[in-house]
Amino acid sequence: MTDPTALLAGGFFMGAFANGMLGGHGALLAEMYPTEVRATAQNVIFNIGRAIGGLAPIVIALLAGSLGFGFALALLPTIYVIQFLAMFLLPEKRGLALE
């Protein structure tokens, strides 16, 4: 995109759909930890993710400068692929009592 208005509109819709995936994380993580530590565990996980995500503009800028903007942006979907694959490594907790 070369038009700033189109970039703004496209970024809005992309951000809305990308951030919408966070809705299921709370329910998934709630299942992984006992009640006594659930809130702490979820806050630690989310804030570590935010800290790493905060470095994304720097990483994208460095990659774009050395390997090109297209390459840097093409790497972003790999985050979702990694997350999708990591989902299969989570243990099944359905029907188990957390104590």
Q: 16-72, pLDDT tens digit by residue?
A: 776 666 666 777 777 778 888 888 988 888 888 888 888 888 988 898 899 988 888
Kindly state the tokens that stand for 17: 């759909």
Q: What is the C-alpha separation between 32 and 34, in angstroms, rounded?
A: 7
Rounded to whole angstroms, the Cα distance separating 49 from 21 reads 14
> Smallest Cα–Cα separation from 58: which of 48, 44, 72?
72
Cβ proximity of 98 and 33 under 8 Å:
yes
Provide the pLDDT for residue 19. 63
**What confidence score (pLDDT) does residue 66 get?**
93
pTM listed for this prediction: 0.57
> 86 pLDDT band (50/70/90 cuts)?
confident
Q: What is the DSSP string of 63-75?
A: HHHHH-HHHHHHT
pLDDT classification of 98: cutoffs 50, 70, 90 = low
